[in-house]
Amino acid sequence: MTAVLDERNAVRRVASVRRRGIRRGRTVGLVLAALASGLVLLELSLGSVTLPPDDVLAALFGTATPQAEYIVGEVRAPRALTGALAGAAFGLSGAIFQGLVRNPLASPDIIGITMGASAAAVVAIVVFGATGAPVSVSAFCGALGTATLIYVLAWRRGMSGYRLVLVGIAVAAVLSSVVSYLMTRAQVRDAQQALVWLTGSLTARTWTDVAPLAVAVVVLVPPAVLLASGLRPLQFGDDAATGLGVRVERHRLGLIVVAVALAAAATAAAGPVAFVAFVSAPIARALVNGNGPALVPAAFTGAVVLVGSDLVAQHVLELVGIVALPVGVVTGVLGAPYLLWLMSTTNRTGRA
């Protein structure tokens, strides 16, 4: 009798702990989604002509004045949506990489994938004099090519996360010198354009920037969510994951492809905005209290970080007399201290 009671209590306890975790995850996700939407709306209303929220909503539903509709629909919405989508893609990509490799340093902006995009973009701008879409296409291909190179170089009888990080950092260093070399060789006008691209900027985005990014996000998010079920066991290490029935190499390759494609698409649209992929997942994980890789919260966090930083870059700094900056400057200022902190604590405790 008591045994049966014990059993029921045990089941109840387990179920309640599990439900609490799910509830927390959902709450965090909803709050972050609301925050991201709020920031997007704010970005739509702020600018040289500040529109009140009801005008913004009216413009979105097509009932505003032509002028407001133009400002919201053609000028600000592409910028805000590029920020939100690129942020989400960076956040998701970083969360997959960090979860897979079990190392907070393993994010596409640290291990050279966005650097690959940068090098290819600079080649396109400086060597071929490209502007606009060809630069984005080149960046996208550069990211994919670099990721393939890193994967091949880091592969030895399977994939070790630590090796991936080290190889990635080395590849990033090589590519960074390629970028530097090209910049010294470039015409001033090209160099300036390349530099703005390299900082990561949402300035002057149009619907032609948004459309491919939106397609990439729509196509890549479902496989990311499906593959996430295998990411959880993969975090226990290859042996334990195999023991749980995961086809380790195949699953890992799938996740890497999705994560690389997300980072490549985001970089192609917004440039290599520093540290968004790197900081989003740890923030999301801290918010959901550590249970699992927190992919969806990480995506929303990425959107919040990127759109929020863009607001700071455009509007907040103006208040202290600094002219509008590319968003990458702000995310760089946010991310660098975290990187330093991570390095120092990692060295001290030996965890990574």
Binding site for other proteins (CB under 8 A): 6-7, 10-11, 13-15, 17-18, 21, 99, 102, 157, 226, 229, 232-233, 235-240, 242-247, 285, 289-293, 351
Q: Which of residues 22 and 336 has its CB atom nearest to other proteins in the complex?
A: 22
Residue 77 Cβ vs other proteins, minimum distance, rounded to whole Å? 36
Residue 10 Cβ vs other proteins, minimum distance, rounded to whole Å? 4
Residue 291 Cβ vs other proteins, minimum distance, rounded to whole Å? 5
SS3 at position 155: strand
Show the CA angle centred on residue 195, arms to residues 191 and 201, nearest 5°. 140
Residue 8 Cβ vs other proteins, minimum distance, rounded to whole Å? 9
Q: Which of residues 208 and 347 has its CB atom nearest to other proteins in the complex?
A: 347
Q: Which of residues 132 and 243 has its CB atom nearest to other proteins in the complex?
A: 243
Find the radius of gyration of the CA atoms of the chain. 22
Show the CA angle centred on residue 161, arms to residues 156 and 166, nearest 5°. 85
Q: Which of residues 30 and 226 has its CB atom nearest to other proteins in the complex?
A: 226
In b/e form, how buried is each residue of 30-53, taking b as 16+ CB within 10 angstroms?
Answer: eebbebbeebbbbbbbbeeeebee
Residue 161 Cβ vs other proteins, minimum distance, rounded to whole Å? 10
DSSP annotation of 314: I
Residue 290 Cβ vs other proteins, minimum distance, rounded to whole Å? 2
Helix, strand, coil percent content, the chain, rounded in steps of 5: 80, 0, 20
Residue 32's nearest CA partner among 276, 330, 283 is 283
Q: Which of residues 115 and 234 has its CB atom nearest to other proteins in the complex?
A: 234
Region of 324 please: left (phi>0), alpha (psi -120 to 50) or beta.
Answer: beta
Residue 94's nearest CA partner among 110, 80, 71, 83 is 110
Q: Which of residues 19 and 185 has its CB atom nearest to other proteins in the complex?
A: 19
Place of tokens 């994951």: 241
Residue 165 Cβ vs other proteins, minimum distance, rounded to whole Å? 16
CA distance 25 to 154: 34
Q: Which of residues 281 and 307 has its CB atom nearest to other proteins in the complex?
A: 281
